[in-house]
Structure 1
Amino acid sequence: MSTKQENIKQLIEEYIEVNQIEPGERLPSEAELSRLFCVSRATLRGAVRQLETEGKLLVKHGSGTFATCPLPSIPSSLDRLYSIGDMIRSAGLREDEQLESIKRMTVCPPDIAERMRFSENEPMIVLERTRTADGEAVAHSINWMPETLAGSILDEGSFSGSLFQSLELKAGVRIVGAYSELTVPSHDDAHMTRLLKHPQATVLLLKQLHYDELNRQVLYSLDYVRSDIFHFWVRRTR
């Protein structure tokens, strides 16, 4: 979504609030809204489509565009891409981390190469961290990135903070989405055992292939998380 469409989206939301448009009431026509906000119809349609996707508008072709009851926000909803740090903070916990290792590999393992559509000769950097909340280990992440991309971030041999932000600010790569598979790790998975600190703790594994604005696969992650801390939700529609 372009910056201009994002601005118009916000203006439409403000218009609905200021004019106290109730759920089920119709908004002005596309032509009227385009004139009101001084934008093209194409830009307006993009903003309206996004609001419809978010459940904030209902578009009935031939009838108009109507306000709806906003859907409740769901923490850790799987249809939104959140970092592990975001999820820890959203739970009201104090985030910290422990760097386990940064490794340079001259070849890419076959399974990773297949997922990322790389040659097995692609040099890779592997970042491994344990994430803590209020002093307890709650997540363990293994991130695979091509050296051509991650070298500028991890050359100093240390790392902390948001990987997403570092990729954007230092490498010019903005991650916009991911294909995520939620699984249960095998009982003998050594990475899982790092998080089994309490009898009631169980572990979930998120296998995530992240892509940028050009739909390039730029990051593959294995995120082990404690299920007594993280709760994932999916909003299903018909």
Structure 2
Amino acid sequence: MASKQEKIKQRIEDYIRDSGIGQGEKLPPETVLAQAFQVSRTTVRGAIQRLESEGKLLVKHGSGTFITRPLPAIPSSLDRLYSIGDMIRSAGLQEDEQLEYIKRLDSCPHDIAEPMELRRQDPVIVLERTRTANGEAVAHSINYMPEQIAEAILVDGSFAGSLFQNLEYKAGVRIVGAYSEITVPSRTDLHARRLITSPQSAVLLFKQLHYDELNRQVLYSFDYVRSDIFQFWIRRNR
């Protein structure tokens, strides 16, 4: 049996549909909705929080609650290696990016050197950027590559397009697989916070060691993705 909060959540959705309120328009105040539905303001607030976690509402404290148009979920099988750009485009969304930087580091960070089997004195190229779908931030990545492999993609401090394709066509490196560790980053993680759009938002962190056709470790990535947008699945056999 549905809880009172779940019933009010459905009534709010019905109200939005039947009243013709559009994207960007404001929902009536909680007190008005509570009176209309003859429930407590706490019940209405809980229902609104659920709708916000689903990306259907945006609560701006001091301004009100606004109707949003949630992005469709982007499904992906965990047993296949897709780039973030490929996943965004496969969902029929417009992919774009915001470059933070691409630069050379004279020495490799310790937590990268070990899995990449590099020495601390080995220089690396670092690429950091935010990926968007239909103008909304959905992923943030930090990529580390050995300079001797990826120096061809470092041009005047700029970068655009698919990292996989840039490595393949400019550096002759074709990525064929990756070992991936999936974790939930701390809510104080500054990279994760870029993607948190509401208190109910959640972010997944993929720590990924990519290798090429020669089984060389060619790329280590920290990929933060919004779990309300990217949905991952895997088939398990007994």
User: Which residue in 2 is equivalent to 1:54?
Assistant: none
Structure 2: distance between partners of 1:200 and 1:95? 24
Structure 2: distance between partners of 1:154 and 1:214? 23
| TM-score, length-scaled by structure 1 | 0.67
> Which of the pair has the greater relative contact order for Cα pairs under 8 Å at 6+ separation?
2
Structure 1: distance between partners of 2:151 and 2:140? 22
User: Which residue in 1 is equivalent to 2:144?
Assistant: 144
**2:75/2:230 contact within 8 Å kept:** no
1:81 Cα offset (Å): 0.1
Deviations 1:87-125 (A, max 9, x none): 111222111100011121111011100011111111011
User: Which residue in 1 is equivalent to 2:201?
Assistant: 201
3-state SS in 2 of match to 1:88? helix
**1:200/1:228 contact within 8 Å kept:** no
User: Which residue in 2 is equivalent to 1:230?
Assistant: 230
Deviations 1:55-74 (A, max 9, x none): xxxxxxxxxxxxxxxxxxx9
Unaligned runs of 5+ in 1: 1-73
1:156 Cα offset (Å): 2.2
Identity value in percent: 75
User: Which residue in 2 is equivalent to 1:153?
Assistant: 153
Alignment length, in residue pairs?
A: 165
Deviations 1:142-163 (A, max 9, x none): 0000111221111321011001
**Structure having the larger proportion of residues in strand:** 2
Which amino acid in the other structure matches residue 149 of structure 1? I
Structure 2: distance between partners of 1:184 and 1:221? 15
| TM-score, length-scaled by structure 2 | 0.67
Structure 1 outlier segments of 4+, above 6 Å: none
1:213 Cα offset (Å): 0.4
**1:175/1:212 contact within 8 Å kept:** yes
3-state SS in 1 of match to 2:165? helix
